[in-house]
Amino acid sequence: MKVIFWGTPKFSIPTLNSINQSDHDVLAVVTQPDKRRSRGNTLSPSPVKKRALELGLKVLTPHDIKKQVDIQDQIYNLKADIYIVVAFGQLLPTQVLNQPPLGCWNSHASLLPRWRGAAPIQRCLIAGDSYTGVGVMAMEKGLDTGPILMERKVAIDLLDNAEELAKRLSLISGNLILEALYKIESVGRGSENHRFSLLRPRFQSKRKEDTVYARLINKYETLIKWDDRSIEIHRLVMGVYPYAYTYYKGKRLKILITVPLVEEAKKYIDKYLPNKNSIPNIKSMPPGIIISIDKSSGPIVSTLDSFLLINEAQLEGKKPLNGPGLAQQFNLSEGVKLG
């Protein structure tokens, strides 16, 4: 099939690679325009644009696909059979969705209708979900509302962070799209109703209680609130990785790896904190206080309901450190309040 691929972040690349390495023909890649993505003043291409150029593919970079009719026409004139969208970052207008005869299909990193929207991976971790997944859905005007052709369910580990989980899901997306393309191609052209009657996708629940939106993470959410429960702080650290932070002696301290010292994390406590004598016996302590320092594992901080081991962190202007290096370089001491 002749494919136009739409995507922008690193997450999209395994799917682009899979399609490009298959028997399908990638006619063009549509991605977000170059942006100032670092402290420098130079423009940088999106990860997908960079990869597409490495593969020698045609690249289009609309600022607003809804308004740029000239780019809509360029895309239409390529006469693709199908559009595949993976985290493109703009909503496609109806006139674009209606262009390809085999439809527009989106690979989305959640089990819809839970976590529709821009940040499904981060939100499922912050919420403490046990499972997530990848679904291939037919696109329609609404935000992630289309019927689901295929899904893969994935268990979430307590110590999975957003970066690790995104990598796993992106690889699944690459494989799942190829399976979906085979099914879609086997059905052939025809009206959408006819194709759906043969593909038999699962239409999403319309119950409000089943629908959850994954809004973008804002910078205020990444500040750790030590008067939350330890498991909630841990989920935040994993969900916004590597951006969760607190303050230590007036300097910003990024928190990268934590272990909540609670019953549901027992197997991780055994791994990360083998010296059980480091676990405090204090029943009550104001939140955010370094109450113990394990030289091999890191500082232990009080929270609303329990304690949290900080196993890896990065002080402003320094490299990330864990275990012995963390306590030594930061000159951590018991009794100091974080935040």
Q: Which CATH number fits domain 219-329: 3.40.50.12230, 3.30.1300.10, 3.40.50.11400, 3.40.50.12280?
A: 3.40.50.12230
* Residue 268, H or E segment: helix 266-272
Domain assignments of the chain as residue spans, ordered by start: 2-214, 219-329
* Dihedral sign from CA coordinates of 13, 20, 175, 147: positive
User: Is-contact 261 305, C-beta < 8 A?
Assistant: no
3-state helix, strand and coil shares in percent for the chain, rounded to the nearest 5 = 35, 25, 40
What are 249-258's pLDDT values in tens digits?
888 999 999 9
Residue 274 burial by Cβ neighbours in a 10 Å radius (0-12, 13-18, 19+): exposed
Amino acid occupying residue 183 = K
What are 76-120's pLDDT values in tens digits?
999 999 999 999 999 999 999 999 999 999 999 999 999 999 999
Name the maximum alpha-carbon separation found in the chain: 70
Query: Do 2-214 and 219-329 show the same overall fold?
Result: yes
* Dihedral sign from CA coordinates of 201, 202, 207, 211: negative
Amino acid occupying residue 201 = P
Query: What is 2-214's CATH topology?
Result: Rossmann fold (3.40.50)
pLDDT in tens, the chain (339 residues): 999 999 999 999 999 999 999 999 999 999 999 997 666 678 899 999 999 999 999 999 999 999 999 999 999 999 999 999 999 999 999 999 999 999 999 999 999 999 999 999 999 999 999 999 999 999 999 899 999 999 999 999 999 999 999 999 999 999 999 999 999 999 999 999 999 999 999 999 989 999 999 999 999 999 999 999 999 999 999 999 999 999 988 889 999 999 999 988 989 998 888 877 777 776 678 999 999 888 888 999 999 999 999 999 998 888 999 877 777 777 777 888 998
User: Is-contact 19 178, C-beta < 8 A?
Assistant: yes
d(CA 117, CA 114): 9
